[in-house]
Amino acid sequence: GDDDKAKFHKPRHLQATFDPRTGEMSTIEGIRVVDFEDVLVSNAASVDAVLSASKSSGIYYLTNCGILCRLTGQTGGLEFYNSSLFNDRVRADLSVRADPGNSRGYIEEGGEAGVHKFVERKEGFEYGDDKDAGGKANKWPENAEREKMNLVFEEMQRIKNSLMELVYSDYLGEEVVGGKEGWEGGRNLDLIRLFRYIACADDEDGKSLGSSPHTDWGLLTLILQEAGGVTALQYRDEKMVWRDVPPVRGTIVVNVGDMLELLSNVRHSGPAETLTSPIHRVQHCGDGGGGRLSVVFFAYPDEGLMVPQGVIEKVGVRGEGGAYNTLLDGRERERGATFGSWLEEKWRGVKV
Ligand SMILES: O=C(O)CCC(=O)C(=O)O
Ligand SMILES: [Fe+2]
């Protein structure tokens, strides 16, 4: 019957608005909600909604996005990640440990931090395309749910490629984004990082964070939040106020990355027209302090795509505790830098 379908479900305490003409949800907690199937059929209002959210906050929810929305629509839908990756056998197995920096495998607690004054209370696991991409093979623990995890990766690809093709490439201009190859060519860089944020104790409120304030470096980031999980992800809005991005059953979260923001400056200008890579963080003791699981997909462009020159001064990105380690970091950019060379440099700054 219909019961096993990942229906869109709104927990009662969340504030939502509805489109009076269609009756569909248009925002939740002030964040745009877009029906992915409407984007797939190039519905003009939905394409507009994605673009306008990308220009203002830089963050939005997608509903009806297929398997991934079904996974967040069910309690325990992401549990297979938890049980197969975060156990003592995996923690003890050095052969599946990620090397520091940009590499795949199990990431122990304290393995990295963006802003050094905070302790980031999480363990994680990173994987990418399962076809060995030049020495970047995945490190699978013995009981990992490899097929399911690969299916999640393919679904992430599908959503990335659809959003790029049906929304962003027209807006950016074919030549600016390097055509289809400009985003599909990023597949070998694309990563899924899952995080198990550790439940917090009473005395540590304020001293620890799930994730330091930062921006993401790529084109887009797609986030699955555990159904019924705690609200911990936040972004900083246009008025510099931190706002919650609660888990909403049957949705995924999308946020714009630095590279997409940079590319948007080539053809467009002014805050109303260019895209926003939002500063965001994950609170540790935010909402009851319970543990939390998230699956985060970083969608990158082709490593050969040129980083646009001359727009880096636009964003001042110094925050409490240091820089946000963002692509828009105000540093002098090497002339003719490719995205790949920049990404490598960014990763060097993340190690503890
Ligand atoms: O766990 C999350 O919800 C987001 C984490 C995040 O922002 C990141 O890893 O870049
Ligand atoms: Fe992020």
Q: What is the pLDDT of residues 289-329, one digit of tens each?
A: 667 899 999 999 999 999 887 655 444 444 444 455 666 66
Q: Cα of 281 to ligand 1 centre, how many Å? A: 7
Nearest atom of ligand 1 to the alpha carbon of 298: 10
Cβ(282) – ligand 1 distance below 6 Å: yes
Q: Cα of 280 to ligand 2 centre, how many Å? A: 6
Q: How confident is the model at residue 288 (pLDDT cuts 50, 70, 90)?
A: low
Q: What is the mean pLDDT of the chain?
A: 85
Q: Cα of 211 to ligand 1 centre, how many Å? A: 7
Cβ(324) – ligand 1 distance below 6 Å: no
Cα(41)–Cα(43) distance, rounded to whole angstroms? Answer: 6
Nearest atom of ligand 1 to the alpha carbon of 294: 1
Return the pLDDT at 317.
46
- Please tell me whether residue 329 adopts helix, strand or coil conformation: coil
Return the pLDDT at 250.
96
Q: What is the pLDDT of residues 69-120, one digit of tens each?
A: 999 999 999 999 988 999 999 999 999 999 865 589 999 887 665 545 567 7
Cβ(211) – ligand 1 distance below 6 Å: yes
Ranges of beta strands (E only) in 8-81 are 16-18, 25-28, 31-35, 59-63
Residue 78 or 198, more confident? 78
Type of residue at 275: L
Nearest atom of ligand 1 to the alpha carbon of 280: 7
Cβ(305) – ligand 1 distance below 6 Å: no
ipTM entry? 0.99
Q: Cα of 204 to ligand 1 centre, how many Å? A: 20
Nearest atom of ligand 1 to the alpha carbon of 233: 3
Q: Cα of 22 to ligand 1 centre, how many Å? A: 32
Q: Are 35 and 63 in contact (CB under 8 A)?
A: yes
User: What residue owns the CA closest to ligand 1's atom 9?
Assistant: 296
- Please tell me whether residue 325 adopts helix, strand or coil conformation: coil
Cα(61)–Cα(36) distance, rounded to whole angstroms? Answer: 9
Cβ(296) – ligand 1 distance below 6 Å: yes
Q: What is the pLDDT of residues 239-275, one digit of tens each?
A: 889 999 999 999 999 999 999 999 998 999 988 999 9
DSSP 99-156: PSSS--EEE-TTSB-SSTTSEE-EEEEEEE-SS--TT------TT--HHHHHHHHHHH
Return the pLDDT at 204.
62
Cβ(223) – ligand 1 distance below 6 Å: yes
Q: What is the pLDDT of residues 32-52, one digit of tens each?
A: 999 999 999 999 999 999 999
Return the pLDDT at 211.
80
Ligand nearest to the CA of 230: 1
Cβ(212) – ligand 1 distance below 6 Å: no
Instruction: Say how many C-beta atoms besides its own lie within 10 A of residue 124's C-beta.
Output: 22
Q: Cα of 21 to ligand 1 centre, how many Å? A: 34
Q: How confident is the model at residue 5 (pLDDT cuts 50, 70, 90)?
A: very low
What is the average per-residue pLDDT within 215-242? 92
**67-71, 207-211, 224-228, range with greatest mean pLDDT:** 67-71
Nearest atom of ligand 1 to the alpha carbon of 122: 1
